[in-house]
Structure 1
Amino acid sequence: MVLKIEHLTGGYTGVPVIKDINLEIKPGEALGLIGLNGAGKSTTIKHILGLLRPQQGTISLNGVELVKQPTQFKHEVAYIPETPVLYPELTLKEHLELTMLAYQQIPQTVWPRAKELLKLFRLDDKLDWLPIHFSKGMKQKVMIVTAFLADTSLLVIDEPFTGLDPLAVANLIALIKKALADNKMVLMTTHVLADAEQAISNYAVLNNGTIEVIGSLTAIREHYGLKDSDAFDKLYQVLSQEQKNA
């Protein structure tokens, strides 16, 4: 079981945004994808989700290639987007039921897990609420609950800490750690490294559409000549200067 991205080049209307990307995530591993806005993080995620078709290269999960077996591939992927996406006419309960249907789960089997997640994020008394009644943070919690309810091999998490209160951040980090202990794979993009490093040990730095370095935060500091005491905004300053010089 492994997520493999091999020589991936892609983007929009024939113009490559990401170029010759190679990444691998094994069970029990979490990889943080970091970089400036416009570096290609969202484009990479859209390719993994099958929303964009590669111009070159392959994406496979547990030996299943996305282009050749898209349905089987996507059945093993759950996604937490940066901006919550909810159906305005569906209640919270109906969103959970839709998730169960999409992932071919037996409701009687997974409802106990759903109730645990709802209680964790203080949504257990809001099953009949429509999205119009939710704050942005509550909508993000719904995305988290549905993603972890899906129980997939791979979790793709895009800037998950935006809008979350400190307790929800701690609960999300605990869920990620539990998923890793259960041999799940996690790919996360984030600018909030102080929170991310509680669950993630390795990072890939994406800059100008290419992977510059993969490793721990210590290895990344060494690669860019940063001191241990340097805040990571210094890293983004270095990446910004590289973009200007490119």
Structure 2
Amino acid sequence: MSLKIDKLVGGYSRTPVLKGVSFDVADGELVGLIGLNGTGKSTTLNHVIGLLQPFSGTVTIDGISINDDVKKYKSKIAYIPEVPILYKELTLKEHIETTIMAYGLDYDAAWNKAMKLLKKFRLDKKLNWFPINFSKGMRQKVMIVCAFITDAKLFVIDEPFLGLDPVAVNDLLDLINQQKSRGSSIIMSTHVLDTAERFCDRFVLIHDGQVKTEGTLEQLRSQFGNKEMSLNDMYLKLAREEGQNE
């Protein structure tokens, strides 16, 4: 088992956003984290990557929590944020070298992997450019390259498809499938539900800071009482229920 979240209560202030969230992501599994804006998806991911400390409950990767060994815990994670995090004073080459040093990767092997990824995402001619000046899609590609040169056990991906062209989306999905075949685990938050429906192994639906339901698409359809229901239909049903409760 890779990621395990158990009875997680947490948030940004004294009032918790998450109210006892529990789910796991197995080795070689892609789990889609689905929910309306403000229901706790990003808060959950921020707890997983260690930006937030739980009020109560635990988050572990391969049985290790961030309190057990912060360096070992974080070395298991590669993170692709919704908004690319770049350093304005670093070139693309320097971003990659910083990632290599941060993860303690073998320099030559990592650069060999990086060059293949840079060519895949058409960034190989821009090594001496400053990514802070790139378009949104190109900045996102930099984050993808830096994440996938690592040997991470868990990939945490937040809204990865926003700003990417269709070719880059396909390339990213190929990389995700390759990592799954190597036994890595992926948790992905996204609103691109038709893509999630086709590629995720399981789904966790977060609503009002709690896990409303989880399972494969077939299991979710059974729980919603409609064998033909799409993930988008489930999302819209949650949205209507939210509107009725306001």
**What TM bracket, shorter-length normalisation?**
over 0.9
State the secondary structure of the residue aligned to 1:12.
coil
Give the percent of matched residue pairs that are identical in Structure 1 and Structure 2: 47
Cross-structure match for 1:242: 241
Q: 1:128 to 1:102 in 2, by over 3 A?
A: same
Cα displacement (A) at 1:69: 1.6
**Separation in 1 of the partners of 2:6 and 2:230?**
32
Conserved? CA contact 2:193–2:232, under 8 Å: no
The residue type paired with residue 234 of structure 1 is D
Conserved? CA contact 2:30–2:200, under 8 Å: yes
Unaligned runs of 5+ in 2: none
State the secondary structure of the residue aligned to 1:15.
coil
Cα displacement (A) at 1:109: 2.1
Cross-structure match for 1:85: 85
Conserved? CA contact 1:173–1:198, under 8 Å: no
**Separation in 2 of the partners of 1:111 and 1:196?**
31
Cα displacement (A) at 1:73: 0.3
Cα displacement (A) at 1:132: 4.0
| TM-score using structure 1 length | 0.95
Cα displacement (A) at 1:234: 2.8
The residue type paired with residue 92 of structure 1 is L
Cross-structure match for 1:193: 193
The residue type paired with residue 170 of structure 1 is N
**Separation in 1 of the partners of 2:222 and 2:37?**
23
**Separation in 1 of the partners of 2:30 and 2:227?**
24
Cross-structure match for 1:217: 217
For residues 139-179 of structure 1, the C-alpha deviation after alignment (integer angstroms, 9 at most, x for no partner) is: 00000000011120000000000000000000000000000
The residue type paired with residue 51 of structure 2 is L
Matches within 5 A, 1:108-187: 108-187=108-187
Q: 1:4 to 1:232 in 2, by over 3 A?
A: closer
Matches within 5 A, 1:89-104: 89-104=89-104
Cα displacement (A) at 1:227: 5.3
Conserved? CA contact 2:132–2:139, under 8 Å: no
Cα displacement (A) at 1:217: 1.9
Cα displacement (A) at 1:224: 2.3
| TM-score using structure 2 length | 0.95
Unaligned runs of 5+ in 1: none
Matches within 5 A, 1:32-47: 32-47=32-47
The residue type paired with residue 131 of structure 1 is P
Cα displacement (A) at 1:231: 4.9
Conserved? CA contact 2:156–2:187, under 8 Å: yes
Runs of 4+ in 1 over 4 A off after TM superposition: none
**Separation in 1 of the partners of 2:126 and 2:154?**
28
